[in-house]
Chain A
Amino acid sequence: MDTNTTQYKTCADVRFRVIAGEGVIIRQEIGEALVVNEVGASILKLLNEGVSTSKLIERIAQEFDVEEERLTLDVHRYLSELESANVVEKVA
């Protein structure tokens, strides 16, 4: 069960950058690319800074002015999707 104390990081083969507000994820192991929207880009940027999930939710809530309770569910769902896509992994 994921909790707000779980920390994620991008997988070793993932390269990430923000271009014109959108996030570009390159999965080098398979040579594939994904593009995520502004919110997704902010989440990945924060993960790359080593921010914990709880802090991440706090920062996204401030940045995009959304209610934290709703955002918590969405962020957990999003992180789980990124984990399934081998973009992020839990920090041991």
Chain B
Amino acid sequence: MSFGERFLHYPDLFPARPAGEPWGEQTLSLNIAGPACFKGLNANQLEAARNRFGDSDSEIAADQPPVNVNVMQMEEEEYILFDRTGWEQSLDLDFLPDKVRIAAYNFIGLIQLQPKLEATLWTCDAGDEEFPSIFENFYRVLVAYQALERGGILLHSAGILLDGKAQICYGHSGAGKSTLTRLAVQSGHEILSDDLNLIVDLDEPQVRRIPFAGDFGRVPVGAEIHPLGGVFRLKQGENNREQLSPAVAFSSLIASSPFVNRDPYRYERVAEITEKLLSKFSPSQLTFSKQGGCWDLFSSNP
């Protein structure tokens, strides 16, 4: 199935550049992997996005101009509507040399990467019940590219604070991120996110708390940042920690870098950032028991 076919009646009409009517005149500024300014929202959309993410106007760093994101109207008739019982949102991504196109249920998006980073979100949702998830699904991709541009990396992982340091535990679906997060909560540890964590400033790696999370860690956008304590590939079993080979560490980290790891035009950049992270932290495999008792493994030597 070609790009957008499962979501759009006429995917070939996907706009090649920002075009259309904005929903309104409202603006929302957020800063996750860098400042972003969402323009063209109506009052309902602004309230819905603000309720989910907050408004970090006052925290926008002045070190760089924000990425402008235009929010545009799109007719509902242009989308294919289908029964979504038991269906989880998945995105169609189309990687091009200078941009990335996104098609999904109820929205399409365009992230222009060259000559400068800017984006457009088209949706038929005027700010109703589904708008926060539309906004978030689009914003997750944008954040992955903003992080990449600034030399950071977004990882599918559980982030847990232990002794003031962020421990990043990554792995494929079913590896145990949610289970470990639940155990951490039961043991009184603070969770950064049980789904996506952002590692920034790889000269001295730090983890920024971001609002992309499942059951644990859904907070508004803030400026909270913690030194990176360690990076671990997760597995369930008897409590144990062992060193990963450099090749396994590299490959598993790439596999856990959502969106950008599938982009053929930005692969070398993803690989370069991953290698930089590996030069600072050598990941271990952390095998943990559902019975708990794994917390000492984070500070032990493999």
* Cβ contacts under 8 Å, B254 to chain A: 24, 26, 33
Task: Among A19, A23, A30, find the residue whose CB has the most chain B CB atoms closer than 10 A.
Answer: A19
When distances are taken between beta carbons in the complex, the residues of chain A under 8 Å from B251 are 24-26, 33-35
Taking a contact as CB atoms under 8 Å apart, the answer to whether A28 and B247 are in contact is: no
User: Chain B 263-302 against A: per-residue CB contact (8 Å), 1 yes, 0 no?
Assistant: 1100100010000000000000000000000000000000
Closest Cβ of chain A: how far from B111's Cβ, in Å?
17
Chain B residues, Cβ within 8 Å of A33: 251-252, 254-255
Tell me if A13 and B245 are in contact (CB < 8 A): no
Most chain A Cβ neighbours within 10 Å, of B251, B261, B263 = B251
* CB-based contact A22/B255 at 8 Å: no
Interface size class for chain B?
A: 10 to 19
- Flag whether B248 is at the interface (Cβ < 8 A): yes
Closest A residue to B257 using CB positions: A31
Chain B: minimal CB distance from A35 (Å): 5
- Chain B residues with Cβ below 8 Å from A32 are 255
Q: Is the CB of B263 within 8 A of A28?
A: yes
Q: Which of B255, B262, B267, B271 contacts A29 (CB 8 A)?
A: B262
Q: Judge if A92 is at the interface, Cβ distance under 8 Å.
A: no
Flag if A20 contacts B246 (CB, 8 Å).
yes
Q: Is the CB of A31 within 8 A of B255?
A: yes
A17 to B261 Cα, complex, angstroms: 15
A15 to B257, CA, bound (A): 15
Q: With A15-B267, A33-B252, A33-B255 in contact, is A20–B262 under 8 Å at CB?
A: no
Q: CB-CB < 8 A to B261: which residues of A?
A: 26, 28, 31
Q: Is B250 an interface residue (CB 8 A)?
A: yes
B residues near A30, Cβ cutoff 8 Å: 262
Contact with A along B105-128 (1 / 0, CB 8 A): 000000000000000000000000
How many angstroms from the CA of A20 to the CA of B254 in the assembled complex? 17
Measured in the bound complex, the distance between the Cα atoms of B10 and A31 in whole Å is 27
Which of B247, B258, B267, B271 interacts with A35 by CB under 8 Å? B247
| Interface 0/1 of B232-263, CB less than 8 Å to A | 00000000000001111011101100100111
A91 to B255, CA, bound (A): 27
Bound form: Cα–Cα A27–B115 in Å: 28
Q: Which residues of B contact A28 (CB under 8 A)?
A: 261-264, 267
Pairwise interchain contact B267-A24, C-beta atoms closer than 8 A = no
**What is the chain B residue whose CB lies nearest that of A19?**
B247
Please provide the chain A residues from 1 to 51 with a CB less than 8 Å away from any CB of chain B in the complex: 13, 15, 17-26, 28-35
How long is the Cα–Cα vector from A31 to B256 in the complex, in angstroms? 8
Residues of chain A with a CB closer than 8 A to B255's CB: 26, 31-33
Closest 7 CB pairs of A and B: A22-B247, A33-B251, A33-B255, A19-B247, A20-B246, A24-B251, A35-B247
